[in-house]
Amino acid sequence: MIRDTAAQDLPRVRAAHARSRRWLLPAAAALALAGVAVWLAASWSAGARSFDASRLRIAEVVRGDLVRDLAAEGRVTTANAPTLYAIAAGTVRLNVVAGDAVQAGQALAVIDSPELRSRLVQEEATLASLDGEARRAGLDARLAQSAARKLLDQARIDDIAAQRDLERSQSAFDRGAIPRNDLDRARDQVQKAQIGLAAAEQEFAMRRELAQVEAENKKIAAQRQESVAAELRRQVEALTLRAPFDGQVGQVQVAQGSHVAVNAPVLGVIDLSVFEVEIRVPESFARDLALGVPAQISSVGTNYPATVSAVSPEVVNGEVTARLRFDEGAQPPGLRQNQRLSVRIVLDTRTNVLKLERGPFVEQDAGHAYVLDDSTARRRKVRLGASSLGEVEVLDGLAEGERVVVSGSDLFERAEKVRINR
């Protein structure tokens, strides 16, 4: 009979199991560490760096109408605000102060210029002298013409008398009453009279022409001097600065009784009947602005139609200055200089296009955008089209419904992909 020894082997089995469990624990730990390593590697492969979503602005690609418009705050300014200048050096006498209401033609200031007034007196005296000479030259011309005409008339009478003597001599000669010598003498007298008549006609024409030339020269000299005197009279008249239109006195740039130099600014006049609105727009929109582009100007909750009246060719701090003028009869009442108004200019409307919220990504990484796929943002080449202040048209590289990092992508430093932590 064989003896049961199973009980003898039980401790050994338990011991073996114990040894097996002691071996499995480190193995499981190793496998766990390997899993963590794999997860870390996967995480690292998903993006070299990770960023908090709260630091980013994410927008979705949608389809709809893209309205290209400009919205800006404008400053009311007068369309006509000339500055009046001193036409000559002198002492200023002001008749108004800043803010005074004035009417067209009203004397605002007077500049006392003794030098200019003295020149005017001298030039007018010279003009009077030349006018006298011109009148005297005209009289001399008429006298010369009268004397020459007297000689011409006498030559014509002599010619007629000689012709009559010749006719009588010819008749007497035909009757045999006088010899041929008398007839020949009569013919000679006719020739002599004709020669004298021709000389008298020539002298009359020459004297008349000479007299006309002399008189015309004197007249031209007087006219030239009249132009000089007229210009000085205009300058003296311009010493009185007058309002060019109904309006208001602007800035007064000189003190009462002060001495000003020639061409120095004295004061400004503001036309309160026509106002414009001045705005500043980003340089990127300047090429779309042109004269006549329609706009709307808001004042006290009401929109007033306007058009672009001027666009500055100069860029200052990335902006371009433009002016808008209210349409005929559309200017609201009660506008004041430097008043602030809201302006909207519709440049273009594109229907049924893919569009995306506009953000810094448009300029930061031109031609690329970061598109979200779960928790990973991948850099993708895109092609953008027209843009407004708030949106940009998507031409290629993005599909409707995709989400794009529109702000904060500068943190990615153009990495091909990054991880976004929710």
pLDDT given for residue 16 in this prediction: 42
Instruction: Spell out the per-residue pLDDT of the chain, length 422, in tens.
Output: 344 444 444 444 344 444 444 544 454 555 555 554 444 444 444 445 888 888 899 999 999 998 888 888 999 988 888 999 998 899 999 999 998 999 999 999 999 988 888 888 888 888 888 887 778 877 777 777 777 777 777 778 777 877 887 777 777 777 777 787 877 777 777 787 777 777 777 777 777 777 777 777 778 888 888 888 888 888 888 899 999 999 899 889 999 999 999 999 999 998 888 899 999 988 877 777 888 888 999 988 899 999 999 998 888 888 999 999 999 888 988 888 889 999 988 887 889 999 999 888 888 877 899 999 888 999 999 999 887 778 889 999 999 999 999 998 888 888 999 999 87
> CA 134 → CA 124, 208, 215, 227, 305, distances in Å?
15, 16, 6, 16, 63
The sign of the dihedral angle between the CA atoms of 404, 406, 409, 414 is positive
pLDDT given for residue 114 in this prediction: 86
Token pair recorded at residue 67: 């309205």
pLDDT given for residue 33 in this prediction: 53
**Residue 329, Ramachandran bin (φ over 0: left; ψ between -120 and 50: alpha; else beta):** left
Contact in structure between 396 and 382 (CB atoms under 8 Å)? yes
- Which residues does residue 288 pair with via DSSP β-bridges, in sequence order? none
Residue 18 CB-density burial (10 A; 0-12 exposed, 13-18 middle, 19+ buried): exposed
**Residue 115, Ramachandran bin (φ over 0: left; ψ between -120 and 50: alpha; else beta):** alpha
- Which residues does residue 343 pair with via DSSP β-bridges, in sequence order? 72, 297
pLDDT given for residue 36 in this prediction: 44
pLDDT given for residue 99 in this prediction: 87
Distance CA(296)–CA(303), nearest Å, equals 6
3-state secondary structure the chain: CCCCCHHHHHHHHHHHHHHHHHHHHHHHHHHHHHHHHHHHHHHHHHCCCEEEHHHCEEEECEEEEEEEEEEEEEEEEECCCCEEECCCCEEEEECCCCCCEECCCCEEEEEECHHHHHHHHHHHHHHHHHHHHHHHHHHHHHHHHHHHHHHHHHHHHHHHHHHHHHHHHHHHHHHCCCCHHHHHHHHHHHHHHHHHHHHHHHHHHHHHHHHHHHHHHHHHHHHHHHHHHHHHHHHHHHCEEECCCCEEEEEECCCCCCEECCCCEEEEEECCCCEEEEEEEEHHHHCCCCCCCEEEEEECCEEEEEEEEEEEEEEECCEEEEEEEECCCCCCCCCCCCCEEEEEEEEEEEEEEEEEECCCHHHHCCCEEEEEECCEEEEEECEEEEECCCEEEEEECCCCCCEEEEECHHHHCCCCEEEEEC
> CA 180 → CA 13, 136, 167, 191, 318, distances in Å?
195, 55, 13, 17, 114
pLDDT given for residue 212 in this prediction: 73
The sign of the dihedral angle between the CA atoms of 324, 328, 332, 338 is positive
